[in-house]
Structure 1
Amino acid sequence: MIFIDTAKFTRAKELLITTCLNWIPLIAGGVFIRNLAYRLIFKKIGRSVYIQDGAELIGANKIEVGSDSYIASGASIIIRAINSKVLIGSRVKIDKGVIIGSSGDNCCIEIDEHTLIGSYTCIGGPGNVKIGKYCLIAAHCGIIANNHIFSDPIEMIRQQGLTCRGIVIEDNCWLGYGVKILDGVTIGEGSVIGAGAVVTKDIPPYSVAVGIPAKVVRSRQRVESLLANQKNC
């Protein structure tokens, strides 16, 4: 009887298909042909998905990508953990150098539709990460849903475990260049986080927050109310 290592077989299939697809240009019928082939390795993929040559995909059978989304060369989506998944909505743009890693079991990283993930941003578990619709995430941001426990000064930090509370970024948020979001944080809808901020606590909806640690400096509520009133007039 011949036993097949399922994980190795799946990885070999990913490499074979992605390598062969490098010869097919991302123009005209090439996108259609690529999408047909990607259906063999992705859990689910929509129409007209643009994946540039050089994008790294590990665990594609646990990745769902919506229609008209774009994954640039040099971006990496890596899932090695059990029962984990990455869900990418329609019209999402993932720029070069982005790393999305589901590093723990039962981890879900979700990026909803019409959201931009800027170059060299890192998004990872093992806690769950949910990024809403119409968000703008600038380059070099860090959204990592875990934190090392270090309460025991004698035991090695790496052996003390992790906390994994998860991160939520609600719809229509803008994170400036180099923002860092710590585990357990929720950023409310319509909020703006200034460049270089480190967010350690929840941010209320329609807030502007800056600094290390990030503090709310003003609210956007009045602006949103004025815009809503103008639309109703």
Structure 2
Amino acid sequence: MDIDINLEKRQFSLQEYQSLSKWSRAKELVVTTLVGWIPRPLGTVLRRLMYRTILARVGKSLYMQTGIELMGANYIEIGDHVKILRDVRINAFAPNSKIYLGDRVCLDRGVDIILVTHEGNCDVEIGEYTYLGPYTCVAGPGHIKIGKSCLIASHTGIYANNHNFADPTRYIWEQGITRKGIVIEDDCWLGTGVKVLDGVTIGQGSVIGAGAVVTKDIPPYSVAVGVPARVIAQRDDM
């Protein structure tokens, strides 16, 4: 199934969004406080039932461990047989935005997915059978699309934004950001500690070596290593 899902959503003003978010956040806190800490197996069953009341969509057989933090849960959609392990944080607190986890996605311990911005209109899509390793960070506010059957190793950073810094007379935080977006196509493997910067597309079937910093597009079926990452081989030639 293609992960180019329909992301239709009503356009809220910032004031409307903030009003709705306060009510939604109160519900999230109540639900997570009541059942978020309960150990397995009882906690797994209760979270599967109770989190349906705050998430936008939940598929079959959701598995969630303890210590998971959700913000903007009503903008988070989860497919079938998804696994979310301990201490994961998913934050969709941005107007007119959405986070989508496809069927059989696994978020390992400490994964952080965050879309915090007042500008809004940003999305994260993670395709079916994709695995995100421990303490991986996926951060907007640009659009991020991770394809199907990808392997993302621990401590990887995927950052879909960049700070402007051209004016030395102003603080960097005052100069705004750019957000071009990131695409990681199907069947990619990113090694431990890889960093993917804004505006990059990693082609289908590519392998990125541990510790690499990806600053430009990687063609399909490439093997890339280094800082900045450069292609050293093609998998179809091997």
TM-score by length of structure 2 reads: 0.88
Aligned with 1:216: secondary structure? strand
What does the per-residue CA deviation read over 1:87-126, in whole Å, with 9 as the maximum and x for residues that have no partner? 0001111011111001230110111110110111110111
Q: For structure 1, which segment, 29-38 or 80-89, has the greater mean C-alpha deviation from structure 2 after superposition?
A: 29-38
Identity, in percent, stands at: 57
CA contact under 8 A between 1:31 and 1:48: conserved in structure 2? Answer: no
Residues 127 and 184 from structure 1, CA distance in 2 versus in 1: closer, same or farther, beyond 3 angstroms? same
- Map of 2:222 onto structure 1: 207
- Map of 1:97 onto structure 2: 110
Please state if 1:16 is matched with 2:30. Answer: yes
Distance, in Å, in 1 between the alignment partners of 2:114 and 2:47 is: 24
Matched AA of 2:76: I
Q: 2:158 aligns with which of 143, 159, 164?
A: 143
Q: For structure 1, which segment, 145-154 or 185-194, has the greater mean C-alpha deviation from structure 2 after superposition?
A: 145-154
- Map of 1:173 onto structure 2: 188
Aligned with 1:165: secondary structure? coil
Aligned with 1:209: secondary structure? strand
What does the per-residue CA deviation read over 1:167-193, in whole Å, with 9 as the maximum and x for residues that have no partner? 000000000000000000000000000
Distance, in Å, in 2 between the alignment partners of 1:159 and 1:96 is: 34
CA contact under 8 A between 2:27 and 2:54: conserved in structure 1? Answer: yes
Higher-Rg member (1/2): 1
Q: For structure 1, which segment, 196-205 or 16-25, has the greater mean C-alpha deviation from structure 2 after superposition?
A: 16-25
- Map of 1:229 onto structure 2: none
Report how many aligned residue pairs link the two structures: 219
Mark the runs of 5 or more structure 1 residues left unpaired by the alignment.
224-233
- Map of 2:5 onto structure 1: none
Please state if 1:73 is matched with 2:79. Answer: no
Matched AA of 1:34: R
Please state if 1:120 is matched with 2:135. Answer: yes
Alignment RMSD: 1.6
Q: For structure 1, which segment, 132-141 or 8-17, has the greater mean C-alpha deviation from structure 2 after superposition?
A: 8-17
Distance, in Å, in 2 between the alignment partners of 1:117 and 1:102 is: 17
Please state if 1:160 is matched with 2:145. Answer: no
CA contact under 8 A between 1:148 and 1:161: conserved in structure 2? Answer: yes
What does the per-residue CA deviation read over 1:184-223, in whole Å, with 9 as the maximum and x for residues that have no partner? 0000000000000000000000000000000000000134
Distance, in Å, in 2 between the alignment partners of 1:170 and 1:5 is: 37
Residues 76 and 30 from structure 1, CA distance in 2 versus in 1: closer, same or farther, beyond 3 angstroms? closer
Distance, in Å, in 1 between the alignment partners of 2:113 and 2:121 is: 15
Shift of 1:8: 2.1
Shift of 1:6: 3.1
- Map of 1:185 onto structure 2: 200
Residues 139 and 23 from structure 1, CA distance in 2 versus in 1: closer, same or farther, beyond 3 angstroms? closer
Residues 102 and 158 from structure 1, CA distance in 2 versus in 1: closer, same or farther, beyond 3 angstroms? same
Distance, in Å, in 2 between the alignment partners of 1:168 and 1:89 is: 16
Shift of 1:22: 3.7
Matched AA of 2:79: G
TM-score by length of structure 1 reads: 0.89
What does the per-residue CA deviation read over 1:141-162, in whole Å, with 9 as the maximum and x for residues that have no partner? 1101001111111111111111
Residues 209 and 77 from structure 1, CA distance in 2 versus in 1: closer, same or farther, beyond 3 angstroms? same
Aligned with 1:83: secondary structure? coil
Aligned with 1:16: secondary structure? helix
Shift of 1:5: 4.4
- Map of 1:82 onto structure 2: 95
What does the per-residue CA deviation read over 1:69-92, in whole Å, with 9 as the maximum and x for residues that have no partner? 111111100121101110000111
Mark the runs of 5 or more structure 2 residues left unpaired by the alignment.
1-17
